[in-house]
Amino acid sequence: ILIFSTGKLVITGAKSEEQAQEAAEKVRAVLADNDLLF
């Protein structure tokens, strides 16, 4: 997963859209747990 300073991210390596969505949710959870979401 690449996260850019603009806030955009790119998920690579997912075999399906479902896997990409799961990865995005995990990233969101980690960012929220560390108070990095605005």
In this prediction, residue 13 carries a pLDDT of: 95
Global pTM value: 0.76
**Integer-rounded Cα radius of gyration of the chain:** 10
**Main-chain dihedrals φ then ψ at residue 2, nearest 5 degrees:** -110, 130
SS3 call for 3 = strand
In this prediction, residue 7 carries a pLDDT of: 87
Over residues 1-38, the pLDDT tens digits come to 999 999 899 999 999 999 999 999 999 999 999 999 87
Each domain of the chain, given as residue ranges in start order, spans 2-33
Q: Tokens at residue 11, please? A: 């998920």
| Cα 38 from Cα 24, distance rounded (Å) | 16
In this prediction, residue 12 carries a pLDDT of: 94
In this prediction, residue 35 carries a pLDDT of: 93
**Main-chain dihedrals φ then ψ at residue 3, nearest 5 degrees:** -120, 125
